[in-house]
Structure 1
Amino acid sequence: MKYTMITTNYAEQQFLETTGVVNSTPVGNMNVVNLYPEKTKQSMKGFGGAFTEAAGYTVSQMSEEQQKEIAKAYYGEEGIGYTLGRVSINSCDFALGNYAYVEEPQDFTLETFSRERDQQYVVPLIRLAQEAAPGKIEFLASPWSPPAFMKTNEEMNHGGKLKKEYRKLWAKYICRYIKDCHSQQINVTRITVQNEPEAVQEWDSCHYSGEEEMQFVRDYLGPTLKEEGLENIKIFIWDHNKELLYERADEILSDQKASRYVDGIGFHWYTGDHFEAIEMVGEQYPDLELFFTEGCVEYSRFMDSDDVYKAEMYGHDILGNLNAGMEGFLDWNLVLDEKGGPNHVGNYCAAPIHLNAANGTYEKRLSYYYIGHFSKFIKPGAKRFLVTRYTDRIEVTAWINPDGEQVVVLLNRQSEDLPVVLRHYGDGAELVVKAHSIATVRITK
């Protein structure tokens, strides 16, 4: 067997390749990472990012050729292998302002429903990705807020709740959105009930308790999707931070009628690792799809961190989530401007690619390559397999692709090089994972 080792490190060597042979003689017992490809776990659904209005607007400021390059960098065959996308139902904070598809409070038939706003920047960005992608992109759609008139606080920002008398109409509204996307060949296959239902934000937000989310799924969203011929659309609950993942899953799925409509659970990273929560949910509810639905490096907390720190946040979290059972990964904004926006309330963040329209340039940040060490090589349909490792200073996840290729991702966040012996039942290869680097090893016959 032979291997190719692809390395990206803090010295900005990106996707540097070396090759070698997996020895057919014993490699010893020290510095070992054991591989057990016969011991498989979850399957990978894919990787992707969010098509926000901010991303679409920013890309639109670049030349036509640059727009295509950026789309190919994510979704093209020469890119980092994205096959999934996230879209917002109505506006989110990374929009140019609040907007909804219906603004008329008396429109109980959704006659005035219009996604004209999405046609300006969101849909063109989707089209660029679709043109670049070798296959079909699947989208997960999430609402940040219903229209203001449907909410108790009469505005899209600052939380509030969905008024009880609008629950059925809101469910129909979501169905209308999905059908409208499908009519434009935007393949929405999954929805979340509410982005960050526990958060009351200064931007677009809406609060649901666990009981309220359960009731909305059970009595309105699930039945309405079925009535509208959309029962194949997968409903995801929670879509918020991992520290309450298990509690929210248990609160909603303990209702048997509601649980029949729920296909997955989404989680974010903003409150820390909590990888055990993913594992607990997977063990308790093995039929649920487990998706990371949002994460980014917030400038409000990490403005002074360098690119290595930001990239290693991604590497550590993706790797830990994968080993806990994650099946799909959706980063936040695909691209942002040089300030980390636009954002209609100034909630600026980092993205893997930043653009500067003023001078007509764009930059792939180190995080782009760190994400790519997973997304480019772990293919849809790949199965995770088990490993053991000699130290917690090296972080490891391992996968077997549908074609039989083994993919091992190794993350070294230490300030010194670490030796690694990849071993399968005594035979293997001796490697060195450089300080502050990530390496993907592809093993083929």
Structure 2
Amino acid sequence: MKGKRFETNQRKGYELKEMADFEFISEDRQQEMQVINVYPEVKYQKMIGFGGAFTEAAGYTLSKMSENNQAKIISSYFGENGIGYTFCRNHINSCDFALGNYAYVEDPADTEFSTFDISRDRQYIIPMIKKAQEVSKETIKFLASPWSPPPFMKTTGKMNNGGKLKDEFKMQWAKYIARYIKEYRKEGIDTFALTVQNEPNAVQVWDSCTYTTEEEMTFVRDYLGPVLEAEGLSDVKIIIWDHNKERVYERARDIFSDAKAKDFIWGVGMHWYTGDHFDAVKITSEVYPDKPIIFTEGCVERGMKVDPIINAEIYAHDMLGNFNNGTAAHIDWNLILDEKGGPNHVENYCAAPIMCETNEDKVNIMLTYYYIGHFSKFIKPGSVRIGTSSYSENLEVSGYQTPEGNRVLVVLNRSEKDLDFHIRENGKLLKQTIDARSMITLVYGE
């Protein structure tokens, strides 16, 4: 077996650098120490894809850059030499990473949605999406998520600071979501999947709306699922939860206890803001193997960490743990942000893998971009996670088999020591070394 090694090591200036080719040798003696085992016959979940969010903030920031830099940014994610993004997120109505609150219908009396208008999205979001579609050789899948219904549909009468969907507007809200999907399809943007509500357990100072487990279950069962079917949109997949991992299993368990609701639901979404909880992810994937788990959002808050290596390792550690416990896709938060980590209409600033200095027309590709790329550039949609084991907790590893039959092995070293290891696969052996605080991807086959 032969292959290629790709490495990111900030201390050496390597950024997904292609290193020397390698070739396995026969395992003439039984290697016992410093081993990473690979078992391609042991297969787990099929991977759906990787991506980020086309927020209004991202689109607005892109519009402030020169045409050359706009092309550079889009190509970095979606182009032939980019990191292979094919599964991205959109927001229905505004979110915190918008220039302000907005909805597609503002008139409470407009029950037929005659004033439904996505022209706000045509300013920044849709142009950015179309630029991505133009350069991508793959069809980009889109996940749509609402942060809040229009103010008149809510108990609080405003989009920010939580509140609930009024009972008398549940059917209208389901139809509103269906209308969004249809309007976007007219733009050539096909919604692959839909989450019921972004972070339904949180009252945020920005656009937010809370649902109990019972409320989310009944909304899917009695309104959203039936409306999508009636509107000819049953191909759009419904994802529940879309919030943190510590409750991912119990939310799925309690909603799936209703057979009718379960039939409408395709998968479970989750965020990372309350810690690893990899065991909760594993339990969910094992109990409900037919319901894909999708990582729908994660970011490092602006100023939370200052060491770019730590920021990048946060991503890689979480991705490795999620994938090794059954997660089938990873969608990062904002694709790009400005120098402040915005714009954000409540100043909830965050970092993104690509940060732009809009006043200087400067593009800063962060270390997190390359760490994400160690997965997304090589683990193509349709790849299957395969069995692996590692001799040390300092070597975090995950393995995949691509649709072409090649193996992809992603290895992270968060320790301060260089570490040797031997890959063992079906009587073949390969010795490698991974530098301290670095990441590698090995791609190989017959």
- Same fold? TM cut 0.5: yes
Question: What CA deviation, in whole Å up to 9, does each residue of 1:79-127 have, x standing for no partner?
Answer: 0000011000000000000000000011111111000100000001001
Task: State the distance in 1 between where 2:264 and 2:218 align.
Answer: 11
Structure 1 segment 36-55 matched on structure 2, within 5 A: 36-55=39-58
Q: Secondary structure at the match of 1:260?
A: helix
* Residue type of the alignment partner of 2:67: E
**Matched residue, 2:230:** 227
Structure 1 segment 36-435 matched on structure 2, within 5 A: 36-299=39-302, 302=304, 304-435=305-436
Q: Secondary structure at the match of 2:129?
A: helix
1:415·1:435 contact (CA, 8 Å) conserved in 2?
yes
Of residues 106-115 and 9-18 in structure 1, the stretch that sits farther from structure 2 once superposed is 9-18
Q: CA deviation at 1:384?
A: 0.5
**Matched residue, 2:3:** 3
Question: What CA deviation, in whole Å up to 9, does each residue of 1:348-388 have, x standing for no partner?
Answer: 00000000111111010000000000000001000010011
Name the count of aligned residue pairs. 443
Task: State the distance in 2 between where 1:440 and 1:283 align.
Answer: 27
**Matched residue, 1:443:** 444
Task: State the distance in 2 between where 1:232 and 1:2 align.
Answer: 41
**Matched residue, 2:23:** 21
Task: State the distance in 1 between where 2:109 and 2:279 align.
Answer: 47
* Residue type of the alignment partner of 1:430: K
1:68·1:132 contact (CA, 8 Å) conserved in 2?
no
Give RMSD over aligned pairs: 0.9
1:382·1:401 contact (CA, 8 Å) conserved in 2?
yes
Question: What CA deviation, in whole Å up to 9, does each residue of 1:142-173 have, x standing for no partner?
Answer: 00000000000000000000000000000000
Task: State the distance in 1 between where 2:383 and 2:205 align.
Answer: 40
* Residue type of the alignment partner of 1:229: G
* Residue type of the alignment partner of 1:334: L
Q: Secondary structure at the match of 2:269?
A: strand
Q: CA deviation at 1:5?
A: 1.1
Task: State the distance in 1 between where 2:321 and 2:28 align.
Answer: 30
* Residue type of the alignment partner of 2:335: L
Task: State the distance in 2 between where 1:13 and 1:381 align.
Answer: 29
**Matched residue, 1:34:** 37
Q: Secondary structure at the match of 2:45?
A: strand
Task: State the distance in 1 between where 2:184 and 2:435 align.
Answer: 45
Question: How high is the sequence identity, in percent, across the aligned residues?
Answer: 53
Q: CA deviation at 1:322?
A: 0.5
Report the TM-score, using the length of structure 1 for normalisation: 0.98
Task: State the distance in 2 between where 1:226 and 1:164 align.
Answer: 21
Q: CA deviation at 1:24?
A: 2.1
Task: State the distance in 1 between where 2:263 and 2:271 align.
Answer: 24
Q: CA deviation at 1:282?
A: 1.1
1:294·1:331 contact (CA, 8 Å) conserved in 2?
yes
1:85·1:140 contact (CA, 8 Å) conserved in 2?
yes
Task: State the distance in 2 between where 1:167 and 1:141 align.
Answer: 18
Q: CA deviation at 1:26?
A: 3.1
Q: CA deviation at 1:25?
A: 3.5
1:83·1:138 contact (CA, 8 Å) conserved in 2?
yes
Q: Secondary structure at the match of 1:94?
A: coil
Q: Secondary structure at the match of 2:330?
A: strand
Q: Secondary structure at the match of 1:327?
A: strand
Task: State the distance in 2 between where 1:45 and 1:378 align.
Answer: 9
Q: Which runs of 5+ in 2 are unaligned?
A: none
1:239·1:265 contact (CA, 8 Å) conserved in 2?
yes
Task: State the distance in 2 between where 1:207 and 1:409 align.
Answer: 37
Question: What CA deviation, in whole Å up to 9, does each residue of 1:159-216 have, x standing for no partner?
Answer: 0000000000000000000011111110211000000000000000000000000010
